[in-house]
Amino acid sequence: MSQAYQHVQHLAETIGPRGSCTEAEKKAANYIKTELSRLDLDPKEEEFKAVTSFSWVFGLIDLLFIIAALIFPARPKPGLILALFALVAFVIESSTFPFLSRLIPKKNSQNLIAHVPARSKPIRKVIITAHYDSSRSALNFSPKLVKGFRRSYLLLVGAMMAEVFLYALAVLTPLSPPLLWLLSLPCALYILVTFFTLLHREIAGQYTPGANDNASGVAVLLAVAKNLTRFPLVTTEVTLVATGAEESGTNGALAFLRRHRPPKDTYVINLDNLGIGDLTAVTAEGILGTKAASPELLSLAKSVASEKKLALRFAPYKLLTTDGTVFLMRNYPTVSLMAFDKEGLLPNWHWPTDQASFVNPDNLNVAKELVLGILRKLES
């Protein structure tokens, strides 16, 4: 049994579900800190405040749309302004920029950071990230509904935009406000259903074991760290960042950027959901609008895969945000390495079946070799 797979087992089974800002997440942080310390990397634990669930932020946005629908018949202009404000908030939050989430009560989480210095004078910097918390399950992540997750999400976006558009027509044109409001009701109803889905997630959902998402990414990060301590790079400084509270809104990556502000030419390799399926270099990320990955890192990944005869796919990822999205949205040269099933989905995504027994140890080793190969290519 590989050491990487043992990391997956310890995180997903011994510690178990690791919800954002929970005591179990803290135990996982301590475990990662211990493992990095064994490699003489002197890891630093950096605490930060984070919302405990994305349900609160996006539930609040849904609620604003519902309130706008309720007040619009009596007060059209305030109804339009409120709906427009909610739409703007939704777009900003979905793009990994905190807005309304600044108002949500927060709890403590933490990042684990370790530096692997270059043997000589460093001329480039690389950040390798992997989050270690796990998500809460929800109805729209169930095996029967998860295939339509993107479609449902885009329908929600369409409902929000349609509500704002119809309200704007009612306020700014001679068209009948009552008629336009009636036309908007199906949109408001769909948003209401989404609101109750988020509410149900917080009441009845359970934190998942998070073996694939994302004990697998942490395991690969630790395996890469072990190799780099034995064979350090000559002119490349590597920073390992195990992030907390990613599942509640990429909070760990945001906290790292706020505190450290790395130079914009720093390369970023994000490791997420690597334990099951086909290893994939993600060419672009984003569910509202995609942001392209670094062409240089993609080219290096292709070259490494060819030389080492590693099976590697290239595909966009158009579902929820990752730590990689955070760096991409701020113009860092970034690539996320993930693994997808034959239908292009993340296996056992945010569901109780995300267990260590389904993780393939060979996947972890191939991902490790790909990361190390990319780093060596950057050296040359």
Residue 1 confidence (pLDDT): 72
Amino acid 288: pLDDT: 87
- pLDDT tens digits, 26-83: 999 999 999 999 999 999 999 999 999 999 999 999 999 999 999 999 999 999 999 9
Reply yes or no on domain 3-50+107-137+207-379 having CATH 3.40.630.10.
yes
Tell me which residue of 311, 218, 225 sits closest to 270, measured CA to CA. 218
Instruction: Provide the pLDDT for residue 380.
Output: 83
Q: What is the pLDDT of residue 341?
A: 95
Please give the average per-residue pLDDT across 349-353, as a whole number: 97
Q: What is the mean pLDDT of residues 114-127?
A: 95
d(CA 73, CA 177): 8
**DSSP β-bridge partners for residue 317:** 285
CB distance 129 to 335 below 8 Å:
no
Q: Are 129 and 323 in contact (CB under 8 A)?
A: yes
- Predicted confidence (pLDDT) per residue in 272-312, tens digit: 999 999 999 999 999 888 999 999 999 999 999 999 999 99
Residue-by-residue DSSP string for 223-245? HHHHHHHHS--SSEEEEEEEESS
Residue whose token pair is 């270690």:
132
- Maximum C-alpha span of the chain: 73
Q: For 121-169, what is each residue's pLDDT tens digit?
A: 999 999 999 999 999 999 999 999 999 999 999 999 999 999 999 999 9
Backbone phi and psi for residue 144, each to the nearest 5 degrees, phi listed first = -80, -25
How many Cβ atoms from other residues are within 10 Å of residue 309's Cβ? 7
pLDDT above 80: residue 215: yes
Give kind and range of the element (H or E) at residue 278.
Answer: strand 278-285
The helix-helix angle for 295-308 and 361-379 (nearest 10°) equals 120
Main-chain phi, psi angles of 124, to 5 degrees = -150, 155
Is residue 330 over pLDDT 80?
yes
Q: What is the mean pLDDT of residues 175-180?
A: 96
What one-character-per-residue DSSP string does 121-133 give? Answer: ---EEEEEEEE--
Q: Is the peptide bond before 214 cis (omega within 30 degrees of 0)?
A: yes
Per residue in 2-17, pLDDT (tens digit) is 999 999 999 999 999 9
pLDDT level of residue 357 (50, 70, 90 thresholds): very high
Pick from 211, 247, 144, 143: nearest CA to 354: 211
User: Average pLDDT, whole number, for the chain?
Assistant: 97
Distance from C-alpha of 277 to C-alpha of 165, rounded to nearest angstrom: 41
Confidence of residue 218 (pLDDT cuts 50, 70, 90): very high
**What is the C-alpha to C-alpha distance for residues 12 and 169, in angstroms, rounded to an integer?**
52
Q: Are 118 and 236 in contact (CB under 8 A)?
A: yes
Q: Are 203 and 76 in contact (CB under 8 A)?
A: no
- Provide the residue ranges of all domains of the chain, joining segments of one domain with +: 3-50+107-137+207-379, 56-99+142-204
Of 277, 278, 254, give the one whose Cα is nearest residue 131: 254
Per-residue pLDDT tens for 239-256?
A: 999 999 999 999 999 999
Residue 208: strand, helix, or coil: coil
pLDDT of residue 289: 85
